Amino acid sequence: MRAQPQFPNEQTGTGEFKRQSDAFRHWVTEDGRSGYPAAAGRYHLYVSLACPWAHRTIIVRALKGLTEVIGMTVVDPIRDDQGWAFHNGPGHSLDTTNGFHFLSEAYRATDPNYHGRVTVPVLWDTVTKRIVTNSDDDLMRIFNGEFNRFTTSRLDLYPAALRPQIDEMNDFVYERVNDGVYRAGFATSQQVYERAARSVFVALDQLDTRLRDRRYLFGAQFVESDWRLFVTLLRFDAVYHGHFKCNLRRIVDYPHLYGYLRDLYQVKGIAETVDFDHIKRHYYVTHDDINPTRIVPIGPQLDLESPHGRDTLS
C-alpha cells in the first residue's frame, strides 16, 4: 500500500516530491524602476520561524540591519488544513498590518484565481495591497542590495567577484541538501526515499571536506550560500534525522560541519532568529501523514554556543 503524500499535487506517480514553483516574482528596486521602490515602512514580511526558506529571509533582514525598515509578522507554527494562520502565542501573533486570519487571504487578495499551496515567506506591499514576491531566493537578494540607503550595514552577501561560484554552490546546496531532505522525507516509495537520502549524505560528506580548511564556503567571509546551507544544518538533527529519516549520520557527527554550524549560529543576531520550539512543533505536528501521533520529541540537546575554533581558518 502506497503512503499518503503530504502534498498530493506535488507528488509524482513514482513517489517523488516535486516542489511547486514560486507564484509571485516581482522585485523591489532601489530606484523604483520595477514599480516597487525601496522605502522604509512600506513592505511587510510574513514568515514562519519553522520554515527554512522563510528563515533565510529573516537572517538577511537581521544581518543587513533592516528590522526597523521592513516589518515582520510570524505565523502560528502549526499549519492545518486551512494553512498558515495568525494567532497570538509564544513567538507568533495576530496580523496587525492587514487583519488577515490566514496567509491565504494575502494570496487571494493578489490573485483571486490562485489555487496552489500557500507558502512562506511573503513580502507584502502596503501601498498596492498585494504580494510583491513569495520567493526566498529573490528576497535574500532584495534585502541584500536594494535597501542599502536605509541601513548603515555595508555587508554584501552576493559580491560581484564571486557571483558565478555562489550561483553554482546555491544550486548544489538546494538540490542536494535543502530540498534533498524533503525529497527523502516526503517520498512515498522505498526506492525513491533511499536514493534521495543517500544523495543528501554524499553532499554533506563533500561539504564537510570542503570546510576542513576554510572557515566558510568561500573562505574567511560568509556569503549568501552559507546561510542557505545553515538553515538546513540547523534543523537536521532535530527534525530531518528522525522525522525525514535522513539518519545515516547527524550533523554533530561531522567535525567540520558541526563547527561551521556553531560558528554561524554565534554570529551576532542569528541566535535570535532561531526557535526550536516552532521548528519541532511545526514538523512533528503538521506532517501528520509522517507522524500520525503528533508527538514532539524532547531532544536533541544541541550546544550551539560551545566554542567552534574556526576563527583561525582562512
Residues 6+ apart with CB under 8 A from 276: 238
pLDDT digit string, tens, across residues 158-180: 999 999 999 999 999 999 999 99
Tell me if residue 284 is catalytic: no
Is 2's pLDDT higher than 70? no
Q: Is 73 helix (H, G, I), strand (E, B) or coil?
A: strand
Q: Which of 107, 182, 216, 254 is catalytic?
A: 182
Q: When comparing pLDDT for 8 and 97, which is higher?
A: 97
- Give the integer Cα–Cα distance in Å for 273 and 266: 11
CA–CA separation, 309 and 53 (whole Å): 28
Predicted confidence band of residue 4 (pLDDT cuts 50, 70, 90)? low
pLDDT 10s digits, 211-246? 999 999 999 999 999 999 999 999 999 999 999 999
Residue 287's pLDDT band (boundaries 50, 70, 90)? very high
Determine how β-strand 71-74 pairs with β-strand 130-133.
unpaired
The Cβ-side half-sphere exposure at 256, using a 13 Å CA radius, reads: 15
Residue type for 196, please? Answer: A
Active site residue 246: no
Q: Which SS3 state, helix, strand or coil, does residue 25 take?
A: strand
- The span from the CA of 257 to the CA of 305, in Å, is 15
Question: Is 132 within 8 Å of 143 (Cβ atoms)?
Answer: no
Read off the DSSP letter of residue 88: -
> Catalytic one among 36, 46, 51, 260?
51
Per-residue pLDDT of 58-83, as tens digits, reads 999 999 999 999 999 999 999 988 99
Q: Is 309 left (phi over 0), alpha (psi -120 to 50) or beta?
A: left
pLDDT tens string 26-42: 999 999 999 999 999 99
Residue linked to cell 516574482: 25
Query: 251-273: per-residue pLDDT in tens?
Result: 999 999 999 999 999 999 999 99
For residue 309, how many other CB atoms are within 10 A of its CB?
10
